[in-house]
Amino acid sequence: MHKRILIKLSGEALAGDGGKGFNHKIVIEVAQQLKQLVEENIQVSVVIGGGNFWRGRSSSDMDRTKADQIGMLATVMNAIYVANVCRSEGIGTVVQTPFVVGTMTELFSKDKALEHLAQNKVVFFAGGTGHPFFSTDTGAVLRAAEIEVDALFFAKNIDGIYDSDPKLNKNAIRHDRISFKEIIAQNLKAMDLTAATLCNEQKLQIIVFSLEPYNAILKAVHGEIAGTTIYPD
Ligand code: UDP
């Protein structure tokens, strides 16, 4: 049984058709699952990507720093939205950011985050690391290490890490387990390599799974879903 976890939701997994915006039904299902985890006395923190709005690295015709700033703000919008849906479902929430967003969010603080978690609130860490050239994968691992989670989950729109892109190769094979070192050595695009390096150094394990199956988050946290376990070595 986990005590404190961090769940990273990719922006795309929450998106509507065409990978943009939100699918409200999916977000409500996510909120209901987070509520159940809180009721199981698990301290739950969440990081949400921004790919359903904006990706800095895809905006090659503009200044990367500015493009990434827009990406970070996209993750703040996502967190405010999902946190609000969680409140509608009856869960206490807080959105923390590494930069000031006026009165809309709280500035990141480990101590405050731990206080909120102890009060059964779900804490959303938005805005990534607060710096360009990083991703929310890295932001998620950073916060997971800082608040000392005992488990880290990455919910995506694909059910794990494959040896090649399953959209391009129908014979692609999903890894049940793979080490961070193998991901780095094989330059697998499934996760950001900076995040993989940090996770390996911090001896954190990640469970990668698809958000799509019914109650996928609950099944992942309870160890009942097929996905990929990425382990440090
Ligand atoms: N981003 C950033 N620094 C961070 C985290 C995110 O600059 O620490 C920006 C970057 O432009 C990225 C965008 O925010 O493309 C959205 O995050 P990400 O691509 O990780 O979202 P996902 O692909 O998981 O939906």
In a domain, 73, yes or no: yes
Question: In 3-state terms, what secondary structure has residue 148?
Answer: coil
The domain in which residue 173 lies consists of 4-227
Q: What does the pLDDT average to over 102-129?
A: 98
Is the CB of residue 43 below 6 angstroms from any atom belonging to ligand 1? Answer: no
In a domain, 232, yes or no: no
Provide the mean pLDDT of the chain. 94
d(CA 128, CA 75): 7
Q: Express as a percent the part of the chain with pLDDT over 90.
A: 86
Question: In 3-state terms, what secondary structure has residue 218?
Answer: helix
In terms of C-beta density within 10 A (0-12 exposed, 13-18 middle, 19 or more buried), how is residue 56 classed? buried
Q: What does the pLDDT average to over 131-154?
A: 97
Please name the helix (run of DSSP H) or strand (run of DSSP E) that holds residue 186, with its range, or none.
none
Q: Name the residue of 136, 154, 157, 194 whose CB sits within 8 Å of the most ligand 1 atoms, as the mutation to test its pocket.
A: 136
* Span from the CA of 30 to the centroid of ligand 1 (angstroms): 21
Please name the helix (run of DSSP H) or strand (run of DSSP E) that holds residue 133, with its range, or none.
none
Spatial neighbors of 224 by CB under 8 A, at least 6 apart, are none
* Span from the CA of 39 to the centroid of ligand 1 (angstroms): 30
Spatial neighbors of 134 by CB under 8 A, at least 6 apart, are 68, 128, 192, 194
Instruction: Give the position, in ligand 1's atom list, of the atom nearest the Cα of 137.
Output: 20
pLDDT in tens, 19-58: 889 999 999 999 999 999 999 999 999 999 999 998 877 7
In a domain, 141, yes or no: yes
Q: Strands of 177-179's sheet, edge to edge?
A: 106-107, 93-97, 122-125, 43-48, 4-9, 151-156, 206-210, 228-231, 177-179
In a domain, 42, yes or no: yes
Residue 17 confidence (pLDDT) above 80? no
Go through 43-54 and write b for each residue having 16 or more CB atoms within 10 A of its CB, e for each that does not. bbbbbbbbbbbb
In a domain, 135, yes or no: yes
Lowest-confidence pick of 15-19, 146-150, 174-178, 229-233: 15-19
* Span from the CA of 68 to the centroid of ligand 1 (angstroms): 7
pLDDT in tens, 153-209: 999 999 999 988 888 999 999 999 999 999 999 888 788 899 999 999 999 999 999
Structure tokens at 82: 């999902």
In a domain, 89, yes or no: yes
Q: What is the CATH number of the domain that holds 143?
A: 3.40.1160.10
In a domain, 233, yes or no: no
State the DSSP code for 49: -
Residue in this structure with the two tokens 């996209």, named with its chain if needed: 74
Go through 134-169 and write b for each residue having 16 or more CB atoms within 10 A of its CB, e for each that does not. bbbbbbbbbbbbbbebebbbbbbebbbbbeeeeeee
Which alpha helices (H) appear in 47-109, and where do they start and end?
Answer: 64-88
Residue in this structure with the two tokens 């990367």, named with its chain if needed: 64
* Span from the CA of 56 to the centroid of ligand 1 (angstroms): 7
Q: What does the pLDDT average to over 63-71?
A: 94
Is the CB of residue 128 below 6 angstroms from any atom belonging to ligand 1? Answer: yes
Which of the pair, 186 or 80, is modelled with greater confidence? Answer: 80
pLDDT at 92: 98
Sign of CA dihedral 128, 131, 135, 137: negative
| Number of domain units in the chain | 1
